[in-house]
Amino acid sequence: VRVDEFFQARSLSPRSIKDYRWDLQQFMAWTDTPWNEVTRRQVAQFKSYLLIEREFAGSSVNRVMQTLKTFYGWMLTSEYVSSDPTIGIEQEKLPKAKSKDLEAHEIEKIYAAIAQRPYKERDRAIFTVLQHGLRSEEVSNLDLGDYTQFDLNVRQAKADSTGAVPLFPFGSTDIEAYLEWRVEWEGKPLDNASPLFISTSRRNKGERLSRWGIYKIMDELSEATGIHLHSHRGRHTFCTYLMVVLGLESSSAMKLSRHKDIRSYERYTNRKSELAAKNAFHRAVAQLPKDMTGLHDYSYDSPPIDHTD
């Protein structure tokens, strides 16, 4: 009852409600203690249970614990509890997130693998759209009417990160080629209200391609190429491209990728700094005299080391 009231008091998307409910269910399944009798010690024990017995990743533990903290914050404000048992329970320290962008040769290899697939026009368009920073569920939710020659209108997105996503020229080219194939495949004009990407399986032929269907395509391409591939790597590639190749400032890049939190964008600013340092190194090395073959050719203004006793 309290959980349902918690959702009614907040403005959450159906996806967020599902995620919150799953997180809270982990705690409810772990203990029979009423909400208002839970102690800080129990919350700490629950966190250890997730880490050790359930073997949750640190990021997953932090998400569940943050949900619990948010819920108890609301419970305290609503005067359903007299104290918050999550206060003082620290989050797990995580290594700095890194961008998992795809290298140019990997993208070329993936496109080559797509060219061998039975529905190559559709799969190429999907992979291309993922490289414009869309999440798999956002790609699944697209309708034909959301596409113009210049952009995609993302109407349903995580954390309300909706908006128009501009397309690279190759994006429009691949989507147009897919739509031409689809008209021929379906044998009728396309309806703007229909899904942009459809399933070709026997069971769901012509219906909206689910995010699980997109996951399956990525898994098959991963197996075919030997590249560790998942749909979110396209988003990482897009964000890195905005920062490194186009040289956009973080604020502009975040607007285009529809990021809300600057902290979640640090992986891309770090990646930009990393690549900038490497490029600076190679530029400096290229300016060295040609007859210098290694570090042993350099002379440092430091006294020689005396190896005698």
pLDDT of 94-147, one tens digit each?
Answer: 766 666 888 889 999 999 999 999 999 999 999 999 999 899 999 999 999 999
The residue among 93, 14, 34 whose CA lies nearest residue 61 is 93
- Of residues 98 and 307, more confidence is placed in 98
Give the pLDDT of residue 13. Answer: 80
Cα separation, 149 vs 186, in Å, equals: 21
Specify whether the backbone of 308 is left (phi greater than 0), alpha (psi in -120 to 50) or beta. beta
Tell how strand 151-154 and strand 163-166 pair up.
antiparallel
Cα separation, 235 vs 253, in Å, equals: 12
Q: How confident is the model at residue 207 (pLDDT cuts 50, 70, 90)?
A: very high
pLDDT digits (tens, 9 = 90+) for 18-66: 889 999 999 999 999 999 999 999 999 999 999 999 888 888 899 999 9
Give the pLDDT of residue 290. Answer: 60
**To the nearest whole percent, how much of the chain has pLDDT over 70?**
89
- Of residues 244 and 203, more confidence is placed in 203
Q: What DSSP string runs through 240-275?
A: HHHHHTS---HHHHHHHHT---GGGGHHHHHHHHHH
Cα separation, 75 vs 2, in Å, equals: 8
- Which of helix, strand or coil describes residue 68? helix
- State in Å, rounded, how far the first CA of the chain is from the last one: 80
Cα separation, 170 vs 147, in Å, equals: 14
**To the nearest whole percent, how much of the chain has pLDDT over 90?**
56
Q: What is the mean pLDDT of residues 167-185?
A: 95
- Give every CB contact of residue 122 below 8 A, 6+ residues apart in sequence: 178, 181, 182, 197, 198, 200
The two tokens of residue 89 are 């329970």
User: Would the CA dihedral through 157, 161, 162, 166 be positive or negative?
Assistant: negative
Q: How confident is the model at residue 278 (pLDDT cuts 50, 70, 90)?
A: confident
**Half-sphere exposure of residue 18, counting CA atoms within 13 Å on the CB side?**
4
- Of residues 91 and 274, more confidence is placed in 91
How far does Cα 138 stand from its chain's mean position?
A: 11
- Tell me the whole-structure pTM to 2 decimals: 0.65
Cα separation, 48 vs 55, in Å, equals: 9
